[in-house]
Amino acid sequence: MASGSNLGIVKQRLAAARRITVLTGAGISADSGVPTFRGADGLWRNYRVEDLATPEAFQRDPRLVWEWYNWRRELIATKQPNEAHKAIAKLERRCPDFWLITQNVDGLHRDAGSQKVSEIHGNIWKIRCTGCGVVEDNRDVPVPLLPSCPRCEALLRPHIVWFGESLCTVDLDSCSRALQHCDVLLVIGTSGVVYPAAGFASVAKEAGAFVAEINPDSTPQSSLVDVSLQGRAKDLVPLLFDPI
Ligand code: BV8
Ligand code: ZN
């Protein structure tokens, strides 16, 4: 459990900060019942990444990839944001210069009210045409297979960044600004293994930010952050914004 003094240090830093950036991973949604990727109940446990979250996999077997995303859409459709998502949305309204970077595709931050957010790995509720590139919101559960574009009849795909695909430049620019200029970076619920997000804590640190991590376990970033708060996001994140 996080020690009281460490919690106090992070609270003070947040209270004094003008510019705050938050980076989240699957761990923040674990408390909403969305399985993480690499934990004991991880999504990847039953599948090999190469079989599902890559353009090659989609090329090879679009039906299999769509079946996996349909399974995840059905699962996520029943989940709600938790106290950690809500606390971050509240912080956005209070802090003059705030940005949220999430690796999560579940949309729960937006459901909690976050607006200043970069969904750097995409969003499971958006689908994109492989032909004309149009991106649309789609809440069908499930998406009837195989979906084709009403405009150009090409195959539609999840609007998700797969391994080996570059993040969109708009997101990368927003992330760079948010990391280079923040007084405090909070890193919540990520195993810190997927790049470029795995490098974000050191970018902020090198630019002079105070960096704190919230995670029940230690991660590759734990050695470089200023404070590591060991615990669940739903328990710790709301405490960070209590009046001191
Ligand atoms: C790119 C979409 C340029 C799918 C995802 C060799 C070295 C370095 C990099 C590479 C390399 N080889 C290839 C690369 C690049 C590659 C990469 O980083 N690979 C890794 C695996 C080595 N990256 C890319 O390809 C990226 N693109 O770099 O473009 C390029 C172009 C061409 C060729 C090369 C490079 C694209 C990456 C995006 C991949 N897509 N998702 C989908 O979601 O359907 S990534 C996937 O992992 C998810 O989006 C997820 O968000 C992300 C990261 O995982 P986490 O969020 O951290 O989740 P995880 O389960 O791992 O951890 C959960 C954590 O929560 C744990 O720490 C746990 O302790 C904690 N936790 C649990 N419960 C709680 C909790 N915390 C708080 N509270 C709790 N209750
Ligand atoms: Zn099209």
Q: How far is ligand 2, taken at its centre, from the CA of residue 172, in Å?
A: 25
DSSP-assigned beta bridge partners for residue 23: 101, 187
Which residue has its alpha carbon closest to ligand 1 atom 19? 194
The sign one gets for the Cα dihedral 53, 114, 100, 132 is positive
Q: Which residues surround ligand 2, an ion (CB under 5 A)?
A: 129, 131-132, 149, 151-152, 154
pLDDT confidence of residue 49: 65
pLDDT of residue 242: 73
197 pLDDT higher than 80: yes
Q: Taking CA 76 as the corner, what is the angle to CA 193 and CA 32, rounded to the nearest 5 degrees?
A: 70
Strands 122-129 and 156-160: antiparallel
Q: Give 90: exposed, middle or buried? Use CB within 10 Å, 0-12, 13-18, 19+.
A: middle
| 121: annotated active-site residue | yes
Interval 22-28 mean pLDDT: 98
Catalytic residue among 85, 109, 121, 159: 121
For the chain, strand residue ranges (E) read 19-24, 97-102, 117-119, 122-129, 135-137, 156-160, 184-188, 210-214, 227-229
**Given a cut of 90, is residue 193 above it in pLDDT?**
yes
Q: How many CB atoms lie within 10 A of CB 11?
A: 17
Q: Is 161 in the pocket of ligand 1 (CB under 6 A)?
A: yes
Give the model confidence (pLDDT) of 92-151 as tens digits.
Answer: 999 989 999 999 999 999 999 999 999 999 999 999 999 999 999 999 999 999 999 999
Quick one: pLDDT at residue 152?
Answer: 97
Domains of the chain, CATH where assigned: 4-33+81-121+166-240 (3.40.50.1220), 39-77+131-160 (3.30.1600.10)
31 ligand 1 Cβ < 6 A: yes
Alpha carbons 161 and 25: distance in angstroms, whole number: 14
Which residue's alpha carbon is at the smallest distance from atom 73 of ligand 1? 27
> Tens digit of pLDDT for each residue in 45-73?
567 766 789 999 999 999 999 999 999 99
Q: How sure is the predictor about 43, in pLDDT bands with cuts at 50, 70 and 90?
A: low
Q: Where are the beta strands (DSSP E) in 153-241?
A: 156-160, 184-188, 210-214, 227-229
Ligand nearest to the CA of 217: 1
DSSP 20: E
